[in-house]
Amino acid sequence: MSVPASFDPNSVGLKSNNIFGLPFTEEQAQLVLLPVPWEVTVSYRTGTAKGPEHIFNAAMQVDLYDPDVQGGWEKGFHMLPIDRNIRTKSDYLRQCAELIISHMVEGGDVADNAQLSQKLEEINNGGKMLHDWVHEMTSNLLKKGKKVGLIGGDHSTPLGFIKALGEVHGEFGILQVDAHADLRIAYEGFTYSHASIMYNVLQQVPQVNKLVQVGIRDYCDEELDMVNNSEGRVVTFFDRDIKARQYEGETWKVICEEVIAALPRKVYISFDIDGLDPKLCPNTGTPVPGGFEAEQVFYLFRLLHASGRELIGFDLNEVSSGHQSGDTIDAITGARVLYKLCNFLVG
């Protein structure tokens, strides 16, 4: 990829270019980012549907030099336009979901309410529509030889992408950085719930032969049983256990090496921003005390890259500025996490 002679990587990022101020078209870029402004089933707080645009804006402040992958940006990163039809559909179905969730919280049974039952069916059909749309979009990019990353939206968004990767790559593993296990079965009745993404992956994408979860600190008995009964397909490094090992003298390097050893040769990274300490993402939908510093996760990625494993794709989800303008630490953190993921994917 030849960089335009007029482009100055040391100058201010121009929004007239693209993500990170880079001057690459979709055709020129080696890595294409698909924004998915969807948050229908979020359980607590909204705002993540605006994540892609807030990250895009904050990305203009990211310096391009990365000591881990020097010159990675020269291979070309390009973010596709945000699909406003997807956003509009999300906004409408979110209103339907809020009615259902409110009814359930008050002790009601959706099955006893014809109107809410109809809305639930509409939401689940919408989730299937999104799944198919993401699958088609990412499949087409992969067929063109592009590397692909997905920017949510809530964590339900990458299912179609993960399925598309399985069709191209065969068997691979997922490294999930998250506060939540996301192994619930149709949480709150929503088949494509953000809390059900990894359950759906395990059920629908047989090519995923290993799910390695890191930083998990909010989960239910059902999810723990699923981990324990997975016969090794799911390996979970709970935040509590990681912290205890460090308090007792083990280094983060040793723990990272154990995480990486559990992964196969091909790896997909699923990064829910709430895997980080909430001070770095205070407006995310369901923040949980604990979690990582950003540099801890970057160090894990660094060792993963050095191990020789092939990174085949990633998603970044749940970045939200709540009802604020977007000029918050959430978007700033998200932009820097995204840049690191992009560089490691092309590195």
pLDDT tens per residue across span 105-155:
889 999 999 999 999 999 999 999 999 999 999 999 999 999 999 999 999
Judged by DSSP in three states, 11 sits in coil
**Average model confidence (pLDDT) across the chain:** 95
pLDDT of residue 3: 85
Average pLDDT over residues 232-255: 98
324 has a pLDDT exceeding 80? no
pLDDT tens per residue across span 172-208:
999 999 999 999 999 889 999 999 999 999 999 999 9
Q: First CA to last CA across the chain, in angstroms?
A: 14
What would the two tokens of residue 330 be? 């959430």
13 has a pLDDT exceeding 90? no
Q: Identify whether 244 is part of a domain.
A: yes
**What is the helix (H) or strand (E) element at residue 79, kind and residue range?**
strand 77-79
What distance in Å separates the CA atoms of residue 267 and residue 207, rounded to the nearest whole number? 12
Looking up tokens 């691979």, which residue turns up? 172
Residue 307's pLDDT band, with cuts at 50, 70 and 90, is very high
pLDDT of residue 327: 76
Strands ordered across the beta sheet of 208-216: 77-79, 31-36, 147-152, 310-317, 266-272, 172-177, 208-216, 234-238
Q: Identify whether 16 is part of a domain.
A: no
State which residues form the domain around 202.
26-346
Q: Identify whether 5 is part of a domain.
A: no
- Count of the separate structural domains present in the chain: 1
Residue 1's pLDDT band, with cuts at 50, 70 and 90, is low
Q: Which residues contact 152 (CB under 8 A, 6 or more apart)?
A: 36, 38, 48, 51, 52, 158, 315, 316, 317, 318, 319
- Full DSSP string of 25-63: -TTT-SEEEEEE---TT-SS---GGGHHHHHHHHHTT--
Report the candidate in 120, 208, 116 with the shortest Cα–Cα distance to residue 164: 208
Q: Identify whether 333 is part of a domain.
A: yes
pLDDT of residue 241: 98
* CATH number of the domain residue 79 falls in: 3.40.800.10
Q: Identify whether 297 is part of a domain.
A: yes
What distance in Å separates the CA atoms of residue 149 and residue 313, rounded to the nearest whole number? 6
243 has a pLDDT exceeding 90? yes
Q: Identify whether 8 is part of a domain.
A: no
| Between 326 and 41, the higher pLDDT residue | 41
Q: Which residues contact 120 (CB under 8 A, 6 or more apart)?
A: 96, 100, 110, 189, 190
Looking up tokens 């995310």, which residue turns up? 284
- Mean pLDDT lowest among 56-70, 97-111, 215-229: 97-111
| DSSP symbol at 231 | T
Q: Identify whether 2 is part of a domain.
A: no
Amino acid at 164: A
Q: What pTM value is reported for the model?
A: 0.96
What distance in Å separates the CA atoms of residue 336 and residue 340, rounded to the nearest whole number? 6
Judged by DSSP in three states, 308 sits in coil
What distance in Å separates the CA atoms of residue 276 and residue 316, rounded to the nearest whole number? 12
Q: Identify whether 4 is part of a domain.
A: no
